[in-house]
Every structure is written in C-alpha cells, then in structure tokens.
Amino acid sequence: MKELIEKIEKTSEADYLLDTCFLIYEFSKGNTKQLEEFCKKEKVAMVSFNLNELEHVLKKKPGPITRHMREFLKENIIKNYAIDVLPGEWEKEKRYVQKYDTDLLRIIPDTSDAIMAVAALKTGATILTRDRHHVFTSITENRGLKVSNKFPQGF
C-alpha cells in the first residue's frame, strides 16, 4: 500500500477532500464506479495523513475492500495533499492544527478530523466524510468549512 501512496501525484489544490471513512464506506457499499467517475471529473484529493491512515485501517477490513482500494489507488485519479504529519504523531498533529488556528481543536477535538479541516480551509475544498460527529457542526460551517456525507448532485 505504501508504494501506491507514494506514487500518487501531489497537489496543493482540491475541490473535494476524501476522508478515510468516506472512501471505505463507498467501497463497502459497492459504489466504486460512482466514486471513480466522480474522481475523474472533479479535482479530488486526500490529505497524506488520511492516505497513511488507510494502511492501518485496511488491515482490519475484509479482503475485497483492500483489493478494491489498491486497484482504486493504482488508477491515480485522486491527488495527494501532502503534509508533514503522520498518524500517531500526537504532538506533531496538534502543533500542525494549532499553527493554522489555535482554537480549532476546541471545535474539532479529534486531531485527524482537525488536520483534514485545516487542509479544507486552506484549499477551499469540500470534505466528503461519513464521520459526522466532529466535522458536521454549525460552528465549523460558520468558519467557512464545507462538509458533506454524500457526492454532490449529479453523481
């Protein structure tokens, strides 16, 4: 998996950022064609933090999801919004978020969600996530963060 992630083209721009849980949800529901079509037509990226998180999460998922995920990544239809923080680097995660906004971790206490929020705020991208408990709040939307739990209309 690591070798596939390293081959993904890096970007500093995106219209949509895929959260790990959104990607896994779409694969588990068999929505691979819709996901691929969406990624081919739109500027879609994943934060490198989330891409690295995939490695750990997929170890706990059934074989077909992992196999489909590898095939999806091989297509190179998403970009990598690269940051210098890896999952599990707790203090570095907090510093990364606080460097952008000292108050963000109060609003979004889960650092992995906050890291993605920083990337979305920097790029103006909409976060596609199934993880609604921290990110889907009126407070984050009032800060200009756009979040959705489904593809935009037309996909």
Range with the lowest mean pLDDT among 53-57, 87-91, 117-121, 125-129?
A: 53-57
With vertex at residue 100, the alpha carbon angle to CA 15 and CA 143, rounded to the nearest 5 degrees, is: 60
Tell me, what's the pLDDT at 142? 76
Percent of the chain with pLDDT over 90: 61
Tell me if the pTM is above 0.75: yes
Q: Is the pLDDT of residue 136 over 80?
A: no
Q: Is the pLDDT of residue 145 over 80?
A: yes
Which of the four CATH numbers 3.60.20.10, 2.60.40.1180, 3.30.390.30, 3.40.50.1010 does domain 2-145 have? 3.40.50.1010
Over residues 64-76, mean pLDDT:
88
Determine which helix (DSSP H) or strand (DSSP E) holds 80, and give its type and residue range: strand 79-81
* Widest pairwise Cα distance in the chain: 41
Tell me, what's the pLDDT at 62? 66
Tell me the sheet residues that pair with 148: 128
Tell me, what's the pLDDT at 1? 81
Question: Which stretches within 8-152 are classed as H helix?
Answer: 20-28, 32-41, 48-58, 63-74, 90-100, 104-107, 111-123, 132-135, 138-142
Tell me, what's the pLDDT at 140? 72
Model confidence at 97, pLDDT cuts 50, 70, 90, reads very high
